[in-house]
Amino acid sequence: MKILVTGGTGYIGSNTVVLLLKAGYEVVICDNLYNSQIEVVDKIKKVTGKEVAFYKTDILDREGLDKIFNEHKIDAVIHFAGLKAVGESVAKPLFYYHNNIEGTLALCEVMAAHGCKSIVFSSSATVYGKPESVPIREDFPLSTTNPYGSTKLMIEQILQDLYVSDNEWNITILRYFNPIGADETGTFGENPNGIPNNLMPYIVKVANKELPHLNVFGNDYDTVDGTGVRDYIHVVDLANGHLKALDKLNGVNIYNLGTGNGYSVLQLVKAFEEQNGIEVPYVIAPRRPGDIAECYADPAKAYNELGWKAERDVVDMVKSAWNFCVKNFK
């Protein structure tokens, strides 16, 4: 089978492409390199010993997409391409709606024109807004608190409408919780430009002495130690969920991809310090606007229907995140 991976040079995309190639799939990557580097393509070839076709193409470019589908018989698409920074989406909503939504429309139109109607889409736990309880099931109410989240929720709706219009589509929507860590070779990790928004890349930059200390956003939540609790999931487990989803594409389905376990900010910091033997200085800062106290998945549906569950623990997560930094930035 030949899979088109949009956003395939990005953080989650590259990890997924590696697993696809190792599992014997043929892979075509389409990425405009807005938030990733061309070098990733050679790294994928090196780590897997396999060939991968790469197109520096924007998913908004219908002609460019058309060319890919003319040159390859694509069986299914895994659609990672998108912008993902919550704060930036508040500042630049039109940029986010244009890129994420228009891009997905263009992609689906070109897919349909070429008779390719199978897609796995990267959604996010952000579509649960401020959940009334945890663990979060797929049938919980949906809402969003920022334009980024709204693009995900709108795309989910668009894909479901598409299925209603034409039952030949097979659509799997995966709602990721908080992916962290890197592959075992330390090649495919997360390295955002500038000051990171997300916790794990921030911890790594503090550990690497690029930033003086971590700001812990609030220690007065109703949680185990007062700091925010999230469902951190190893990126390789998450990537593996896409292979399971591809196997079982059938109609329209939605799955949480999380571990089902919650870790607080301070628990994650402590695990990082203990496992890597490095101190991570922190100060308690005010709550970050829009944050919730606790967010973790009920991952039972993915286990029952896809046969997928996360296998790597928080030790693997914090060690692999630091290993990626050591291998690439020290």
Residues with catalytic roles: 148
Cis preceding linkage at 135, omega within 30: yes
Both structure tokens of 147: 């334009």
Of 3, 4, 5, 10, the one binding ligand NAD (CB under 6 A) is 10
Task: Decide: is 52 part of the binding site for ligand NAD (CB under 6 A).
Answer: no
Main-chain phi, psi angles of 32, to 5 degrees: -90, 5
Of 230, 234, 242, 244, the one binding ligand WQD (CB under 6 A) is 230
Torsion sign across C-alpha atoms 31, 32, 33, 35: negative
Of 17, 41, 65, 99, the one binding ligand NAD (CB under 6 A) is 99
Main-chain phi, psi angles of 92, to 5 degrees: -130, 65
Task: Decide: is 86 part of the binding site for ligand WQD (CB under 6 A).
Answer: yes
Does residue 89 contact residue 100 with C-beta atoms inside 8 Å?
Answer: no
Read out DSSP for 53-74?
Answer: EEE---TT-HHHHHHHHHHS--
Give the residue with the Cβ less far from ligand NAD, 124 or 261. 124
Binding partner of residue 312 among ligand WQD, ligand NAD, none, CB cut-off 5 to 8 Å per kind: none
CB atoms within 10 A of CB 145: 16
Task: Decide: is 169 part of the binding site for ligand NAD (CB under 6 A).
Answer: no
Does residue 273 contact residue 279 with C-beta atoms inside 8 Å?
Answer: yes
Of 191, 197, 208, 219, the one binding ligand WQD (CB under 6 A) is 197
Both structure tokens of 187: 């090649």
Task: Decide: is 19 part of the binding site for ligand NAD (CB under 6 A).
Answer: no
Tell me how many degrees the CA angle 55-58-61 measures, rounded to the nearest 5: 110
Beta strand pairing call for 2-6 and 76-79: parallel
Task: Decide: is 215 part of the binding site for ligand WQD (CB under 6 A).
Answer: yes
Helix or strand holding residue 4 (H, E): strand 2-6
Q: Report the largest interatomic distance among the alpha carbons of the chain, rounded to a whole angstrom.
A: 56
Footprint of ligand NAD on residues 122-161 (CB under 6 A)?
122, 124
Task: Decide: is 216 part of the binding site for ligand WQD (CB under 6 A).
Answer: yes
Binding partner of residue 60 among ligand WQD, ligand NAD, none, CB cut-off 5 to 8 Å per kind: ligand NAD
Give the residue with the Cβ less far from ligand WQD, 163 or 217. 217
Minimum distance from CB of 230 to ligand WQD (Å)?
5
Residues that bind ligand WQD in the complex, under the rule CB under 6 A: 84, 86, 124, 126, 178, 197-199, 202, 214-217, 228, 230, 265, 288, 291
**Positions in the binding site for ligand NAD (CB under 6 A):** 6-7, 9-13, 31-36, 58-60, 80-84, 99, 103, 122, 124, 176, 179
